[in-house]
Amino acid sequence: MLRPFILSLIMIGAVAAADDATVTPATEPATPAASDTTAPATKAYPLDTDLVSGDKLGASAVSCVFKGQEFKFANAGNMDKFEADPKTYVDKLAVAVKAVAKKQTAPAGR
């Protein structure tokens, strides 16, 4: 008798967890409506390369927004890989941004 109840609770938890990690395609508005001043703005993608493949981003690049950060990809297949494991690429973006910042602040001639 408890088994259906427990299974229902597990299903509800799985759906709630999936809702927390939803990736929003960039075709939806990336910025809040003018009347909504409480929502944070989407951070622009800071790199000119695809985090998944390392390829340069071209005119055919695709993008999505994940937890307020825009991500761009050389193709839809790479975006699918991101959507399957976003944490890996969120971490990879943080490392890449730090490397770019370090390179920009390095003294000339080194």
What pLDDT does 93 receive? 97
Beta carbons of 64 and 26 less than 8 angstroms apart: yes
Beta carbons of 54 and 74 less than 8 angstroms apart: no
Give the start-to-end residue ranges of the domains of the chain. Answer: 23-30+39-110
What pLDDT does 14 receive? 44
What pLDDT does 40 receive? 73
Intervals of the chain under pLDDT 70 = 1-39, 108-110
Strands of the chain (E only): list them: 24-25, 62-66, 69-73
What pLDDT does 15 receive? 43
What pLDDT does 97 receive? 93
Euclidean distance between CA atoms 43 and 12, whole angstroms: 31
